[in-house]
């Protein structure tokens, strides 16, 4: 809801001024008692001006024609975790091939209805966000650090998600929801360039049905979760990009210390055995991927030009 400034309300007469005072009083009351924030409707009369009509359209997930929310490609909670509490640059730095800019504006567009946003939140996003690194507190990594590996002879940490009570199905749901968002919509980055779309092929509809809760986890899909032990990967996020040099088609993205790889043609048994949903132990991995993160970031940074507050740094 948006409300015009009081000066605008005066134009519609004294009655509107009464309305403004009533709304101000109601707002003060609401601040004092947040749990009763909506009760002022029964106490005060109000005329509200300046409300924007909702953007109507076909929800990409349920396909119903409804008011559409401003959906994020990566959840807003990711960028919140990447803010700096101090210093001249507090907002996360968005890096593209063209520019590097400190901004709170993330990739978002009218994509989903409120019911489907809620579904995403409840079935994966909220849980995944709570596991990520948040200014030095990293619940998922902390959990693994005090837990036994499945095999100490391996160089990388391999854990049983089911034994440790980690909800790997929610992590996988979150990963699929992000990659799917990249496939069903053309997202525009801060430099005005379109993000390269993801091609899920025949998997796209199967994944949509799963995200809606109408189908089980797709049999041809695998999700591998790696919890990053290196600091660099814990303070960076990047959008899904194709993974090359591995069996089948796969996309990977990083969000505050959790690296997800989504295989969309997981026919190779070796891939299926490491899936956090398809494996018997609900496997989850922990390792240092600093080199991989730098490689992904370095390609962009080589041509990216600092602008705004960053230009003077």
Q: Which residue number places its CB atom closest to Zn ion?
A: 59
Cβ proximity to Zn ion, 68 vs 274, nearer residue: 68
Cβ proximity to Zn ion, 62 vs 307, nearer residue: 62
Query: Sign (positive/negative) of CA torsion 8, 12, 13, 16?
Result: negative
Distance CA 131, CA 134 (A): 9
Query: Shortest Cβ distance from residue 239 to Zn ion (Å)?
Result: 22
Query: Shortest Cβ distance from residue 277 to Zn ion (Å)?
Result: 24
Cβ proximity to Zn ion, 123 vs 282, nearer residue: 123
Cβ proximity to Zn ion, 59 vs 275, nearer residue: 59
Q: Which two tokens stand for residue 122?
A: 């409840």
Query: Shortest Cβ distance from residue 181 to Zn ion (Å)?
Result: 13
At 252, which helix (H) or strand (E)?
A: strand 250-255
Instruction: Tell me how crowded residue 159 is: count the other CB atoms within 10 A of its CB.
Output: 24
Cβ proximity to Zn ion, 59 vs 256, nearer residue: 59
Cβ proximity to Zn ion, 9 vs 59, nearer residue: 59
Question: Helix 203-212 and helix 168-184: axis angle, to 10°?
Answer: 130
Which residue, 292, 216, 301, 297, is CA-closest to 260? 292
Query: Shortest Cβ distance from residue 58 to Zn ion (Å)?
Result: 9
Distance CA 199, CA 49 (A): 43
Q: Which two tokens stand for residue 193?
A: 């360039």
- Pairing mode of beta strands 65-72, 56-58: antiparallel
Query: Shortest Cβ distance from residue 65 to Zn ion (Å)?
Result: 10
At 100, which helix (H) or strand (E)?
A: strand 99-102
At 204, which helix (H) or strand (E)?
A: helix 203-212
List the Cα angle 130/133/136 in 5-degree steps: 125
| Interacting residues toward Zn ion by CB under 5 A | 59, 61-62, 113, 116
Q: Which two tokens stand for residue 222?
A: 């695998």
Inter-residue contact 60 to 111 (CB < 8 Å): yes
Query: Shortest Cβ distance from residue 240 to Zn ion (Å)?
Result: 21
Query: Shortest Cβ distance from residue 74 to Zn ion (Å)?
Result: 19
Cβ proximity to Zn ion, 208 vs 282, nearer residue: 208
How many angstroms separate the first and last alpha carbons of the chain? 38
Cβ proximity to Zn ion, 60 vs 274, nearer residue: 60
Distance CA 304, CA 191 (A): 10
Query: Shortest Cβ distance from residue 66 to Zn ion (Å)?
Result: 6
């Amino acid at each position: 809801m948006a409300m015009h400034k009081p000066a605008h309300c005066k134009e519609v007469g004294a009655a509107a001024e009464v309305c403004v005072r009533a709304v101000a009083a109601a707002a003060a009351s609401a601040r004092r008692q947040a749990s009763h924030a909506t009760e002022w409707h029964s106490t005060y009369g109000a005329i509200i001006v300046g409300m924007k009509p909702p953007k109507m359209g076909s929800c990409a997930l349920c396909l119903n024609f409804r008011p559409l929310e401003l959906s994020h490609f990566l959840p807003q909670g990711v960028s919140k975790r990447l803010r700096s509490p101090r210093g001249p640059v507090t907002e996360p730095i968005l890096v593209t091939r063209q520019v590097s800019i400190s901004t709170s504006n993330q990739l978002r567009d009218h994509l989903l209805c409120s019911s489907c946003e809620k579904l995403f939140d409840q079935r994966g996003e909220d849980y995944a966000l709570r596991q990520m690194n948040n200014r030095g507190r990293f619940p998922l990594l902390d959990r693994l650090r005090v837990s036994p590996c499945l095999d100490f002879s391996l160089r990388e940490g391999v854990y049983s998600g089911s034994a440790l009570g980690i909800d790997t199905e929610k992590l996988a749901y979150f990963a699929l929801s992000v990659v799917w968002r990249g496939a069903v919509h053309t997202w525009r980055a801060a430099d005005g360039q379109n993000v390269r779309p993801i091609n899920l092929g025949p998997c796209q509809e199967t994944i949509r049905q799963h995200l809606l809760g109408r189908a089980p986890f797709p049999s041809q899909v695998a999700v591998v979760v790696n919890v990053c032990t290196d600091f660099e990967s814990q303070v960076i996020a990047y959008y899904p990009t194709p993974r090359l040099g591995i069996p089948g088609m796969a996309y990977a993205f990083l969000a505050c210390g959790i690296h997800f790889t989504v295989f969309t043609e997981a026919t190779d048994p070796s891939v299926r055995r490491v899936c956090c949903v398809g494996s018997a132990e609900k496997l989850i991995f922990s390792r240092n991927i600093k080199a991989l993160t730098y490689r992904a970031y370095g390609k962009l940074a080589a041509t990216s030009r600092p602008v705004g507050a960053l230009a003077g740094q």
